[in-house]
Structure 1
Amino acid sequence: MTTSSTSSVATLAQLQATFDSATSIYVLVDPMQGEPIPLFVDAADGLTAVRAAREAAWGRQVTAVPLDPRVPLTETQQPYVVTLQGADDEWLADTLEIAQAERHASQADGLASDGAGVHRISWLQTSLFGEDVAAAVAQMLRVNTSAWTDARYMRLADRRVLSWLRYVVGDARVAAQFGRLRRWVYLDACGRLAQLTHADDGVEQLTLKAEEWKFFMRGERMHATAARWLGELALSGDQALCENSQQDREIYAQVAAALGRAERAAQRWPTRFVRARDQDAWAVLSLLHADIEHDTRVRAVLQARPEEEGEPDETMHTLSITLRALMLKGIHS
């Protein structure tokens, strides 16, 4: 893996320089939660109409990525690739802007958000033509694991899922699936360009071991916690984490440890931790303030009972803003 400038978000010049000028470039789009650009069509008009509207809106060849028919998505929610006209194509700049805006939106509210958002854009480079690119990507989107699961779809078109898979199984095993796909580029959690490359035409199917699959399924929690953490840092003007970390994997390692601390806190104050997002909030707080668990003011808040009898305790997700302010007050006083 390589990552662009660690001091700023990705620029168009950096993205253009990533690509080999002699090899085709594609945008991989994940429309599960909606199209990244306006389409002048109603989804109820049918797949043919949607495909035509996509071609018209992009002004480029658009090729659907065929998923396992058992995947519970409508065909209009399934990924597709857009064929670009080289690194100077205006859509390269526009899709970079879309990806940057989506990342910013997912982190904008810091602790107050759920850290979800949408992440629909990444870029591919290969000598393959559109139909073959779609077929190659489709193979990588199939779930292969020794664990029992009814999951059918590895949602790699969401850049966070690709990044997390690399952390779980390592770059070599992910890239071994690429075949003639030479480069997969996306924005990392800090907004920098990250890429995975492959030079061998051979294809090795990726099969996750049962324990790897179990860990992989924690990805949603990891992404939400990381987004809330990075967003809160950005709100306070603290860029040190993104300036000093070279890869998403460094962020994941810290988030995984923080979620472990949150699980222990939930055992100590169970009424404050009702949903997963409550543990996520505590994980973020522990990343922001390493000593929060031992702060006497925080302990007093967590141990306090509601004024009205029978009223439930305020959960950590909503209480986290109060605790963050309390910790900051101690820093600035």
Structure 2
Amino acid sequence: MNHITDITSESLSAKLTSQLDPVVPTFVLVDPMLGEPLPELVEAANECAGLDELNGMRSKAWQGAVFALVLDETIELEAHRHPYLVSVDPVTQALPNSARIAFEERARALTQGAAPYRIGGWLQSARDPQVLCGEIARLCRLCTQGGVARPARYLRMADRRVLALLRHVLGEQSIGSRLPSLSQWVWLDDAGELERLSRTEPTTDKALVIPPVAWSRLALGMDIHPVRARWIGMASDARTDFDRVERALAHAGTMSIKWPARFQDSADRQAWALLYLLFGDLSGQRSIEMLLRQGDPAHPEGPGEPAEAFHLLFDAAFDVAVRMRLEASHSPTLEENS
């Protein structure tokens, strides 16, 4: 998949409009788990006496009817942080505003790696919105085989990155068959594409149960999403499929075994995975080995000092890799490491 590098909030809104069926009701899926996306609603949860009043304020701010998801009672999340749907009236700014917010979320993620995502996408359904809310809410209750994760854990379906990874790991049938009220679910992927999920037949009312192997991949999402976003932000021609990111993180895992002092936590593994995606396997290169042994040449570690974590050495490693690539491009005797 080639991602869009010249995307703007206006072009996104126009493309989104062209992909929506004008005769089927449209809803924006909002995830307020980390805060409301509209500035006028940021303090609303603290100011309102209850959920009904809050939803009234949401409806006024978004200029559309609000339908809140009711998550399973075993999910430990305050009601005002549950996702909700907003009906989209074509004459209001709900669609362009939500497209702008999604665009800004992606832009921050491409720069920083991690950023809160509050726009889960745009859903179309001709059925009762409350029925659709119930179907999404059931998918939010994480169930795994063999007790790999506790059954009541929250599967954050309203985060479009979670949805994208879930579709990649389990396939569209596993999700679409459990959304019988859905016509289509469109969302902005980090690669800049509008992705689409539709209802699939036959539908089922059985709970989605995630096998252990699939869960082991989904559990890597906290590493996969920031690495993939930064990769897209740094390499305009990146082939940004999830499989390549998973392989890069697996390689980072082997590096953490070999260099435990350098690779102390997820930030270090993410940094190496990003380097791997940008330049290939540099673990056997002398300049990189020296950096891993001695630290940043510009700021060498003194005798007895603890080894600096790799994510703090990323800029130095990146500079080394760029020099190596330039040297390789000018010398047929040097092997390009890409």
Q: TM-score range by the shorter chain?
A: 0.7 to 0.9
Taking structure 2 as the reference length, what is the TM-score of the superposition? 0.86
Q: Which residue of 1 aligns with 2:258?
A: 268
Q: 2:287 aligns with which of 292, 297, 319?
A: 297
Q: CA deviation at 1:331?
A: 3.0
**1:181 match: secondary structure:** coil
Q: Which residue of 2 aligns with 1:312?
A: 306
* 2:110 is the alignment partner of 1:120: no
* 2:199 is the alignment partner of 1:198: yes
Contact 1:32/1:77, CA 8 A, preserved across alignment = yes
1:44-55 to structure 2, matched below 5 A, reads 44-45=46-47, 46-48=49-51, 49-55=53-59
Percent identity between the aligned chains? 30
Q: 1:68 aligns with which of 65, 69, 72?
A: 72
**Cα-to-partner distance string for 1:196-254 (whole Å, 9 max, x where unaligned):** 11254833432211222222111111112112222222xxxxx212xxx4xxxx52111
Evaluate the alpha carbon distance shift between residue 54 and residue 14 of structure 1 in structure 2; reply closer, same or farther with a 3 A threshold: same
Q: Which residue of 2 aligns with 1:240?
A: 237
**Cα-to-partner distance string for 1:170-191 (whole Å, 9 max, x where unaligned):** 1111111110211111011212
**Cα-to-partner distance string for 1:67-121 (whole Å, 9 max, x where unaligned):** 01221211111100000124x642111111110110110111xxxx4x2211111
Q: CA deviation at 1:52?
A: 2.2
**Cα-to-partner distance string for 1:27-72 (whole Å, 9 max, x where unaligned):** 0000111111023544233433322221221121111100012212
**1:270 match: secondary structure:** coil
* 2:89 is the alignment partner of 1:85: yes
**1:284 match: secondary structure:** helix
Query: 4+ residue runs of structure 1 moved beyond 4 angstroms?
Result: 3-8
Number of equivalenced pairs: 313
Task: Say which is worse superposed, 169-178 or 49-58, in terms of deviation.
Answer: 49-58
**What amino acid sits opposite 1:258 in the alignment?**
A
Taking structure 1 as the reference length, what is the TM-score of the superposition? 0.87
In 2, Cα distance between equivalents of 1:292 and 1:210: 32
* 2:248 is the alignment partner of 1:258: yes
In 1, Cα distance between equivalents of 2:268 and 2:169: 24
**1:313 match: secondary structure:** coil
Evaluate the alpha carbon distance shift between residue 83 and residue 31 of structure 1 in structure 2; reply closer, same or farther with a 3 A threshold: same
1:121-200 to structure 2, matched below 5 A, reads 121=119, 122-148=121-147, 149-150=149-150, 151-198=152-199, 200=201
In 1, Cα distance between equivalents of 2:176 and 2:204: 9
* 2:218 is the alignment partner of 1:224: no
Q: Which residue of 2 aligns with 1:212?
A: 214
Contact 1:39/1:54, CA 8 A, preserved across alignment = no
Q: Which residue of 1 aligns with 2:336?
A: none
Unaligned segments of structure 1, at least 5 residues: 234-238
Evaluate the alpha carbon distance shift between residue 130 and residue 204 of structure 1 in structure 2; reply closer, same or farther with a 3 A threshold: closer
Greater relative CO (CA pairs within 8 A, separation 6+): 1
Contact 1:68/1:152, CA 8 A, preserved across alignment = no
